[in-house]
Amino acid sequence: MPSHPNAMTPSLSAAHFIWQHWQSGESFDQIPADIRPHTRTQGYAAQAWLPQASGREVLGWKIAATSTAGQQHINVGGPLAGRILSGQVLPPGAEVPALGNRMRVAEPEMAFVFGCALPSRTQPYSEAEVMAAVASLHPSIEIPNSRFAVFTEAGEAQLLADNACAHQFMLGQAAPDAWRSLDLSRHAVHATVTGASGQTWQRTGSGAAVLGDPRTALTWLVNELSALDIGLQTGQFVTTGTCMPPLAINEGDQVLADFGVLGQIGMRFR
């Protein structure tokens, strides 16, 4: 949590500015100059005020730009962490409102739910420590969005303040426990998009698209937050990034993401 909750710092002002646009659905070119973050640290500081600005709680975390192509697309130097807030999580199979969504993509992802807390500490967590704290793996779909009119030109600091393009998210049913013995980097994920006219197209990806392995991405997220003095709480989830290039979707499209033995999850873009 940020300190001094009553102080209207530039970071808090930036969070209020972003949340107001989030609520109205209006876009903006840049955060106003007097409150604009210019560094990664300042971007995270603004993001940290979003729960207070929105009056919502943090249910989980997301990772943006977990592939080289994704990083190049939004012009950042590495992955970005973002908060998923209450009110952003939809049930599997739900209709997702298209209104105000400028990105218009769906991202099949592997998500992990924590069975015990991982408090922040000075020593980085190992992958084995992180995975020991995980209770379950879930197929999921993220539907990202940005408040920036041209999000590819916003830059790393402003995108972090904009919550790393977090928007809406679906967490599927827990996968069978056998997932722990799978090589998730080689695990295939298939997606089918069915348009309003009934035409379909498909795309295939794998866990390798997520920093080489979803377990690697999850460990990165835990240590990224730990360096910010943030721990993972019991019951929180982390969605680790898209397993394939984002699926372009239009109104009326239905998406089915098939994770094989890990399960399926679908949505409709209303």
The string of pLDDT tens digits covering residues 206-262 is: 999 999 999 999 999 999 999 999 999 999 999 999 999 999 999 999 999 999 999
Residues spanned by the domain of 170: 10-269
- Overall average pLDDT of the 63-87 stretch: 94
Helices (H), ranges, the chain: 10-24, 40-48, 50-54, 68-74, 127-132, 156-161, 214-227
d(CA 74, CA 72): 6
- pLDDT-wise least confident of 20-24, 132-136, 202-206, 231-235: 20-24
DSSP 256: E
Instruction: Give me the count of residues in the chain.
Output: 270
Between CA 107 and CA 142 the distance in angstroms is: 5
Asked if residue 65 has pLDDT above 70, the reply is yes
pLDDT confidence of residue 113:
98
Q: What is the pLDDT of residue 130?
A: 98
Residue 5 inside a domain? The answer is no
- How many C-beta atoms surround the C-beta of residue 77 within 10 A? 9
Residue 1 lies in a domain: no
Any idea of the CA torsion for 230, 234, 236, 241, to the nearest 10 degrees? 80
3 belongs to a structural domain: no
Inside any domain, residue 112: yes
Best CA proximity match to 3, nearest among 48, 35, 34:
48
pLDDT over 70 at 151, yes or no? yes
Nearest-10 Cα torsion for 15, 18, 20, 23: -120
- Does residue 260 sit within a domain? yes
Residue 254 falls within a domain, yes or no? yes
How far is the C-alpha of 151 from the C-alpha of 158, rounded, in Å? 9
> How does pLDDT run across 162-181, given as a tens digit for each residue?
999 999 999 999 999 999 99
pLDDT tens for each residue of 25-54: 999 999 999 999 999 999 999 999 999 999
Beta bridge partners of 189: 205
Q: What is the CATH number of the domain that holds 115?
A: 3.90.850.10
* 223 Cβ neighbours under 8 A, 6+ residues apart: 124, 125
Rg of the Cα atoms in the chain? 18
Return the pLDDT at 7.
Answer: 54
Any domain includes 163 = yes
User: Residue 3's pLDDT is what?
Assistant: 44
Mean pLDDT of the chain: 95
Q: What is the pLDDT of residue 158?
A: 98
pLDDT at 142: 98
Tell me what pLDDT residue 1 has: 45
Question: What's residue 207's pLDDT?
Answer: 98
Quick check: is 175 in a domain?
yes
Do residues 225 and 61 lie in contact, with contact meaning Cβ atoms separated by under 8 Å? yes
What is the reported pLDDT for 196?
A: 87
Closest by alpha carbon to 119, among 236, 232, 228, 222? 232
Instruction: Provide the domain count of the chain.
Output: 1
Flag whether pLDDT at 2 surpasses 90. Answer: no
Percent of the chain whose pLDDT exceeds 90: 93
